[in-house]
């Protein structure tokens, strides 16, 4: 079965930056599971997987504009440490969900902590990077109607999510 619209796809992957450093991998985070054609995946990756089948291995390069885009320095903010009540120690690398713009939740990463201020960066960690993927397609099947409706793959251990 080839990857096409509304197929549920499972892919093992290693993602490297242009220097060869591993940014992320299925060994660390589990495979990518997505519904093809629902914009669940970065566009460059989805386009490269189109038409391929389970068992195939691909090495592809996704330019930053087809991945997470360029970095936006306006997404870096310094906020008072008092805005993080109830958290004992805030350290660089911690991630928080925020809804400071238009009530759309997004993830910020702490990049710097002083006595009074915390610097957070709202850029995706891979923004500004070209991504080099080694992919192995594990599974391609028809997505269920509820998976298509939700825009993500359901697995045996993820029935209890909230929509
Ligand atoms: Zn769902």
Query: What is the pLDDT tens value at each position of the chain, 163 positions in all?
Result: 999 999 999 999 999 999 999 999 999 889 999 999 998 889 999 999 999 999 999 999 999 999 999 999 999 999 999 888 787 789 999 998 876 556 667 788 999 999 999 999 999 989 999 999 999 999 999 999 999 998 889 886 555 555 4
- Nearest 10 degrees: Cα torsion 154, 159, 162, 163: 40
Going from the Cα of 138 to the center of ligand 1, the distance in angstroms, rounded, reads 21
Question: What is the structure's pLDDT at 159?
Answer: 56
Going from the Cα of 160 to the center of ligand 1, the distance in angstroms, rounded, reads 8
Question: What is the structure's pLDDT at 6?
Answer: 96
Question: What is the structure's pLDDT at 151?
Answer: 87
Domain 7-68+126-150 sits in CATH at 3.10.50.40
Going from the Cα of 95 to the center of ligand 1, the distance in angstroms, rounded, reads 24
Going from the Cα of 104 to the center of ligand 1, the distance in angstroms, rounded, reads 19
Question: What is the structure's pLDDT at 162?
Answer: 52
The structural domains of the chain, with segments of one domain joined by +, span: 7-68+126-150, 73-121
Going from the Cα of 163 to the center of ligand 1, the distance in angstroms, rounded, reads 7
Going from the Cα of 85 to the center of ligand 1, the distance in angstroms, rounded, reads 32
Going from the Cα of 149 to the center of ligand 1, the distance in angstroms, rounded, reads 8
| DSSP states along the chain | -B--TTEEEEEEEEEE-TT--EEEEHHHH--EEEETTTT-S-HHHHHHHTT-BTT-EEEEEE-GGGTT-S--GGGEEEEEGGGSTT-S---TT-EEEE-TTTT--EEEEEEEE-SSEEEEE-S-TTTT--EEEEEEEEEEEEPPHHHHHHTS---TT-TT---
Going from the Cα of 33 to the center of ligand 1, the distance in angstroms, rounded, reads 12
Q: Which CATH class is domain 73-121?
A: mainly beta
Going from the Cα of 35 to the center of ligand 1, the distance in angstroms, rounded, reads 11
Going from the Cα of 75 to the center of ligand 1, the distance in angstroms, rounded, reads 29
Going from the Cα of 147 to the center of ligand 1, the distance in angstroms, rounded, reads 6
């Amino acid at each position: 079965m080839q990857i096409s619209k509304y197929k549920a796809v499972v892919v093992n992957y290693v993602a490297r930056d242009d220097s060869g450093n591993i940014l992320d991998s299925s060994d660390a985070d589990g495979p990518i599971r997505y519904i093809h054609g629902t914009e669940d995946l970065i566009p460059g990756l989805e386009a490269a997987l189109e038409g391929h089948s389970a068992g195939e291995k691909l090495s592809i390069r996704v330019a930053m504009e087809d991945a997470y885009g360029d970095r936006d320095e306006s997404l870096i903010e310094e906020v008072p440490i008092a805005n993080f009540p109830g958290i004992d120690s805030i350290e660089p690398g911690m991630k928080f969900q925020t809804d400071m713009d238009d009530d759309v939740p997004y993830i910020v990463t702490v990049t710097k902590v002083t006595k009074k201020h915390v610097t957070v960066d709202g850029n995706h960690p891979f923004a500004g990077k070209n991504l080099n993927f080694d992919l192995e397609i594990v599974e391609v099947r028809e997505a269920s109607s509820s998976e298509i409706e939700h825009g993500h793959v359901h697995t045996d251990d993820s029935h209890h999510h909230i929509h």
